[in-house]
Structure 1
C-alpha cells in the first residue's frame, strides 16, 4: 500500500540518507574495528612502558589519589572505584583481578602494587574481596610515573571527555621485559616472560653504547627469563631462538634436590616450581599418578610449603630406584613449556619484536621523555631566571624603585610605572611589587645572586642535553644505573643444560666477597670492594646487624665460585659453594644458614678452607682449643655430605678452632689466647684419618687455649699478624719464631692483659695484603697490612680497630695483595 502513496519531501530526505552496502563488507569492517579495539585498547601491552591500558589506568588513578609507596594503604575497593569511574568503565571485577595480579610476588617479578591482606596464593586460592584488602603503589611502580607532570608524555581525553589520562607512562626502566606480559587479543596473543631488572638495564646501557650490537651480544647481559618462582630453564638454544626471532618455546623445570632421610631411604625435595604452575593442583596430580601406579616407588608425598617458600617432599620406598622416580616426575609433572611470543604495540600497531628491537623501542621512548622533560625544566628555569634578573635589577636601583612604588596610587599603577621607568617585563614588575621589605637586605640579595647562578648553571646543563644527543643518552644511562642500584636483586631462575646439569656459575659473576656468620647461624655474603681500606685505628663501618642477643662469630674471604670446606667447633666439616650464600647489604642481619648448613645447637664455623687450593699430596691440618693438632690428607674431604662429615674426634669439652692447608714440608705456628706461640716441623704430626683425635701440639699453661694455627717454611719472608680482642695487634717477621719440638711451652708473642685482652686470631701476611677485622657487634674494618707496625716478639702492639667498650674483635681474615691487584 505504501508504494502507492505519492512521494513526500520527508520520505525523499530519509531515503537519501540510506547507504547501500554489502553485508559481507560491513561484517568485515565491523569485525576489524572490534579486533583493533581489543588489540590496542585491552589485550596487548605498549612496548614503551610495558603496560596494558587497565594496568596504566590503575597506576595513574593511584597516582592521582596520592596512594604512593609512602602513604598509608587504601582499600582496594576505593582504588577500583576511582579507576572504573574516571578511566576504565569495564567492570570492577576485571580491574580488581588486575590489581591483585600486580600485587602477587609469584606472578610479577617486581610487583607494582604493595598489597595488604589476602591476595591469593600459588595454590590457586583467590584473593579476598576488594572490601577486605588494601593496597598502595610499590616503590618500583613510582619509577614508571616519574616526571609525569613535566609534559614528558601525551595525554588524551578519558572515556567521557571529563578528564585526561596519559597515553603511555614515562617508564624509567624497561618494564615490558622486566615484568613481562600475557594476553589474548583477536587473532593474536602475547606471552612475554619476566626478566631480571639488573640484567635488562645492563643490556640497555650496552645497546646505547653499541647500537650495532647483536642479540648474541645482548645475551651476555640478559642470560634468559627470570621467573618470580625461580625454577630452571632447560637449554640455552631455546632462549637464543626466542630472543633472536621474538618467538620460542622454553622448557621450565622445577628445582629439586635428592637426599637421604635418617632411615637411609632417598627422597626428592622440590623447592621451586615452574612459573604459573598451580602448586596444589601439581601435588594432586602427582598423588593421582602414584595411586594409579603411573609413578612407582613413592611411599609418601607432603606439601610442607610455608610463607618462606615452596617445599614438596616426595619420599621413596625402601629399595626404590630414585633415578626412575625422578624421571617419571620430570616426564609428567616437574616440567612445563613457556611459549614466548614477544608481541607488543609499536606506534599503536602489534609487532613481534626481537630482544634488540624491544630495547631499541624503549631507548627511543626514553630519549623522547628526557628531551621533553629537559624542555619543560628549561622553560621553568628560564622563567625563574627572568624573575631573578628583575629582582637583581630592582635591588641595584632599590631607592628609586621604593620611591616609585610609594608614589603610586595602587599596585597596578606601580607595575605600569616600573615597566615604563625601568623596562621591566610585566612578570618582573608584578613580582617586584609583591616583594617584602625583608627581601631588600644584603643577605637576601646574596641569596638571590646565588640562586641566579645556580639557575644559570641548570639552564646551561639542560641546553647541553638538548643540543648534544650523547649528553642526553648519558642522562638515560645514569638514570638506568640508579634504578639498578636501587632495585636490583639476585637472579632466581637458573639455566640447566639438556643433561640436567645446572650451570648456575654461568650466571654468577666471579668476584671476591666477604662471608659473615653469626653465633645464631645467620649467614650472608657481601662484595669485598664494598669496603674501602681505612687507616688503622678507625672504628670501621657496619658490616652486619645481628639481632638482639646474637653476635658475629666468623668473617672470611672467598671467591663466589669457590668450593669451601667449613670446619666447625664440633669437629664437623661441611662443603659449601660461595654463591649459594645469599648476597645482602652491609646492614642486613643475614639469613638462616639452615638451608645451606645443618648446624647442631651451639655449633659454629671456626675455620674455612678453599678446596681450589688443594693439590696432590696436600693435607688439612687442624688445631683444637686444648692444643691438639692433627693432619689429614685432603682427599679425605672429597665427598662431603650435605649434612656434614666428621673432620676430627674431640675430647669432651674440646673444640676445633682452626684449619690450614699444608704440603707436608711446612712449619706449623700455633698461637694461644694468652699470647704464646710455638713453631715446629709439620712432619712431627703424623698423617691421620678423619676420626682421629690428633697429637699434642703445645703445652698450654693453666687457663690458656689455642687461638689459631698458620703454616710457613724457612724461606717465608712474610710476617705473623696477631690481633687481640680489644682491637690491638702487631706484625712480627716469621724468622723471629725459632723452630722447636712439638709439645713445648713456646715463646711469648704478644703481651695480653687488660689493655689488649686475649688473642683472637693469628694470620700470615705480606706487606701488600689487607686485613679484615670484624667485631662481635657487626662493625667491620679493612686496613692495609703495611699500616700495622712491624715489631719484635713480646710487645704490646698498636691499635688496629677502635673497638667499643662493650664490643670485642670476633674474627680476622686477610685479602692477599694478588687478589687486590686483580680486582
Structure 2
C-alpha cells in the first residue's frame, strides 16, 4: 500500500492551490497588460494596431496604391499575426479609419466606417481600406534592421516588436484600454505642438513640465470643442493623472426676425454620440426639466456638424445654455491616465517622460539605421574595389578566365592571383561586357569615390551623438512641415469657478497638535490673556495620557506644510483642518494625510503665499542632528495629495523646524543642552528638494537641536525649559559665527530648569502661549518679563505640578482687552533673577568652531 502511494505522489506531485492560482493569475494579468491592452511608449501602438499596420504594409496597400477589401486585410491580420477573432481586428481597423476617433487617422477607409451618431460600420466584405500617408512615417526603415523582430504566434513568421515610428503617435492619437488592475486613457494632441516640444526638449534637456506646457498647451480632440480650465491639464502633465472638462462649441443666432434666439452647436466633446445628445435634449424638454426650449433639430451635413436649439420668446440663452451644460453631455469630463508600456512594464508617466522616451526611441532607430547603411556601404565599396582591380588588370583577368576550365577554377584563380574575396571574384565573373566600356569604367571609379565619402560620413555620425540629434531634429521639422496643422480644440479659462477660499473669513487660529498625532484649530481669541505665573486655562483635555506637543498660530487662508520624519511634505489649508472644542483633541493627522504606517509629522510650517517676485524666498529645514538645508519656495508651490520629498533624512534623524527665508536673514539654532549658534543665511547654499543638507551646529554628546529661529532685528530671544522656567535675552548677546561650530551657552541647564524645550524670538508687542503635557495652557504678556543677560538662569514662566512638564511654546498678537475676573497673578513669581550660591551660574562657553561639513 505504501509503495502504491509513493508512486502516486511521483506521478501527481502535491502543489499549493493558493500559489498556483496566484502565479496563473499574474501570468494572465501580465499577458493582458503587455500583449493586448496597453500601448508601447515608443510607437504608441497596441499589438493589434501594430499587427494591422504591418499586415497592410506586407500587402502593399500604401496610400498611393488601390484600396483592397477590408476582409482581405483582416484575414492576413488574424491568420498571420493576431490569433483572435475577426471582429477584434476589424474593429481596430475601423477605429483607425474614423476621423472623429483619431486626431490623425492611420487607415484610409472607403465605404461606411461608422458615424458620429453611433452608426455601426458596414461589414468588412463591403468596405475597402489602405494605409494613410502618415503611416509611412510609422513603418519606414523596417527593412533596415532598426527594430527587433519576434516570431508570430505559431513561429512560422517574424513580426516587429515595435515600429520605427518617426511620429509621436502615443501623444498625437492617444490611446485607451483597460487591462487587469489598471487602465490607460491618453488624449490626442496636436502634431505641430508635440513636434515643437520634442525639438525644444532636444535643445534644452532641462526643461520642466511647466515650460513644456508653454508649447503643448493641452489635448487637441478630433471633434474640436473647448477645454475649460488648465488646472486639470497641469495636474495630468505633471503627475500622469488628471481630469479635464470638455464643452461643446456653441454660438447664438437670432431667428424669427430677431425676436427669438437659437443655440447653435457646431462642435461636441470628444467621444460624445451626437444622436444620443440630441435625443437627451429632446427628453429634457419633453419632461419639462428645461422649459426655455421650443424645438431641437439636427442640421448636420457633409459640410459639418450643426445642431439647432430654438428658444421660446423672451427666454435668455445664457440660462438655457448653463442648463444644457449641467444636464447633458454638452459638458463632459475626460479622465487622463498617462499609462504606457516601458521596457515591457506598465509605467505611469508625466508629459516630459513620454517625450524623453520617444526621443530615446528615435536615437536607437537612427543609430541602428546608420549602422545598417554603413554595413551596406562597406559591402558595396568592397565589391567596387574588386571591380577596380579587374579593370586595372583587364587583360590579365580576361586571360585567366579564358584559361580556366570552369567558373570554380576561374574564381579560385582570381582569388589567389589578386587577393580577392569570394564575393569580389564572383562579382568579376558576373560582370557584363558592357561595363568594360570607358564610360562604365569611369562610373565605377566615381561610384567608389562616392561610397567612400558616404562611409566616412556614416562613421562620423555613429561616433558623434550631436550629429544623431541633428538628424532627429531635421526629421521632426520635416514631419511638422508635411503633416502639421492648427489646433481644433480651444482652451479657455475655467468658467464660474468659485474657490473655497472665497467663502472663508480670514481669522487667526491656534492650531494644536498632540503627542499621539491629533490636530485641531480654535480661534486665538478663545484663550484669555493672563499675567506671567498664572495657572492658565485648559487648552486640551488630557485623554488617555495624551498631551499637546506643538502649537502654531496662522490665518484660516494660510497653507500648512506638514513635514514628516521620512522627509516628505504634505499640504493642507488651515480652514481644512478640523475645528474642535477647546478641550477636545481634534482629529488624527493620519486621517487627514496620506501617511505611511511608520510615518509621523515632525514639523509644520504655515505659508501665507507661495508668490515670490524676487525669487529669493526659500524654505529652511532643520533636523535634530543639526543638519540644515534651504530650498526654493517655488519647489513647494504645487501640492500633491500623496506628498513630495522635502529632503533626504539620515537614519535616526528627523525634522524639528521649518522656516521661510527672505535672502538676508540670520538663523539661531538652540539645543536641548542650552547651546546656541547664530549664523548668516548666506552660509547655506540653495539645494534641491531631495538634498540632505549641511551641518548647522556641531553637537555635544547626547545633545540635539530643539529650535531654529529666523532672527529679526531688535527682538529678544525667549528660551523656555521643561520645568516652567525661562528668560529673555537680547539678540546682541548671540554674536554671529560661521555655521558648523559648537556655538555659545544660551541658558544654564540645571536640575531646577531641566532641558530646553523651545526658544522663540519675542518683543513687547506679542504674547506667548505655554503648553504643558497635561494640556494646561497659559497666555501671558511679554512686557511682564524683563530682558536679562545670556548667562542667567531665568525666571518662572508657569506654575507646574510636580508631574507636569512644558512641551510647547508659541507667540500670538497681544490682546489689548482685559477682563479683571480672568486675571491670575501669583505674587511669589514676580520677575526676579533666581541665580544664587546654591545654584551657581556657569560662565558662558564662548567656543566658536567654524568648521563646516558639506
TM range (shorter): 0.5 to 0.7
TM-score (norm 2): 0.57
Whole-Å separation in 2 of the counterparts to 1:322 and 1:492: 25
Query: What does the per-residue CA deviation read over 1:565-622, in whole Å, with 9 as the maximum and x for residues that have no partner?
Result: xxxxxxxxxxxxxxxxxxxxxxxxxxxxxxxxxxxxxxxxxxxxxxxxxxxxxxxxxx
Whole-Å separation in 2 of the counterparts to 1:33 and 1:118: 39
Whole-Å separation in 2 of the counterparts to 1:366 and 1:493: 28
> Which position in structure 2 is the counterpart of 1:270?
265
Whole-Å separation in 1 of the counterparts to 2:105 and 2:454: 35
User: Aligned runs of 1:647-796 on 2, under 5 Å?
Assistant: none
Structure 1 residue 391: deviation in Å? 0.8
Match of 1:92 among 81, 86, 97: 86
2:325 is equivalent to residue 330 of structure 1 = yes
> Which position in structure 2 is the counterpart of 1:65?
59
Whole-Å separation in 1 of the counterparts to 2:430 and 2:47: 46
Structure 1 residue 26: deviation in Å? 1.6
> Which position in structure 1 is the counterpart of 2:287?
292
User: Aligned runs of 1:148-547 on 2, under 5 Å?
Assistant: 148-264=142-258, 265-333=260-328, 334-499=330-495
Whole-Å separation in 2 of the counterparts to 1:433 and 1:352: 60
Structure 1 residue 48: deviation in Å? 0.5
Asked if the contact 1:182–1:190 (Cα under 8 Å) also holds between the matched residues in 2, the reply is yes
Whole-Å separation in 1 of the counterparts to 2:310 and 2:161: 54
Structure 1 residue 29: deviation in Å? 1.5
Whole-Å separation in 1 of the counterparts to 2:369 and 2:462: 10
Flag the 1:439–1:98 CA change in 2: closer, same or farther, 3 A: same
2:141 is equivalent to residue 147 of structure 1 = yes
Question: Could you say which structure has the larger radius of gyration?
Answer: 2
Match of 2:50 among 53, 56, 79: 56
Match of 1:7, SS state, is helix
Asked if the contact 1:234–1:500 (Cα under 8 Å) also holds between the matched residues in 2, the reply is no
Whole-Å separation in 2 of the counterparts to 1:93 and 1:13: 49
Which segments of 5 or more consecutive residues in structure 1 lack a partner in the other structure? 502-823
Structure 1 residue 157: deviation in Å? 0.8
> Which position in structure 2 is the counterpart of 1:76?
70
> Which position in structure 2 is the counterpart of 1:692?
none
Whole-Å separation in 1 of the counterparts to 2:303 and 2:40: 34
Structure 1 residue 68: deviation in Å? 1.3
> Which position in structure 2 is the counterpart of 1:726?
none
Structure 1 residue 21: deviation in Å? 2.4
Structure 1 residue 404: deviation in Å? 1.2
Whole-Å separation in 2 of the counterparts to 1:262 and 1:411: 95
Structure 1 residue 262: deviation in Å? 4.5
Superposition CA RMSD, Å: 1.4
Whole-Å separation in 2 of the counterparts to 1:353 and 1:460: 39
Structure 1 residue 161: deviation in Å? 0.8
Structure 1 residue 15: deviation in Å? 2.6
Structure 1 residue 463: deviation in Å? 0.9
Structure 1 residue 327: deviation in Å? 0.9
Q: Bigger CA drift: 465-474 or 254-263?
A: 254-263
Structure 1 residue 12: deviation in Å? 4.8
Structure 1 residue 19: deviation in Å? 3.0
**Runs of at least 4 residues off by over 3 Å:** 11-14
Structure 1 residue 24: deviation in Å? 1.8
Question: For this pair of structures, how many residues does the alignment match?
Answer: 495
Match of 2:102 among 104, 108, 117: 108
Whole-Å separation in 1 of the counterparts to 2:52 and 2:237: 30
Structure 1 residue 493: deviation in Å? 0.5
Whole-Å separation in 2 of the counterparts to 1:78 and 1:433: 45
Asked if the contact 1:394–1:432 (Cα under 8 Å) also holds between the matched residues in 2, the reply is yes
Match of 2:3, SS state, is coil
Match of 2:113, SS state, is coil
Query: What does the per-residue CA deviation read over 1:75-118, in whole Å, with 9 as the maximum and x for residues that have no partner?
Result: 11111111001111110111111110000000000000000000
Query: What does the per-residue CA deviation read over 1:530-554, in whole Å, with 9 as the maximum and x for residues that have no partner?
Result: xxxxxxxxxxxxxxxxxxxxxxxxx
Whole-Å separation in 1 of the counterparts to 2:386 and 2:19: 67
Whole-Å separation in 2 of the counterparts to 1:67 and 1:15: 58
Whole-Å separation in 2 of the counterparts to 1:496 and 1:331: 18
Whole-Å separation in 1 of the counterparts to 2:387 and 2:155: 42
Whole-Å separation in 2 of the counterparts to 1:25 and 1:401: 74
Query: What does the per-residue CA deviation read over 1:456-489, in whole Å, with 9 as the maximum and x for residues that have no partner?
Result: 1221221111100011111111111111111111
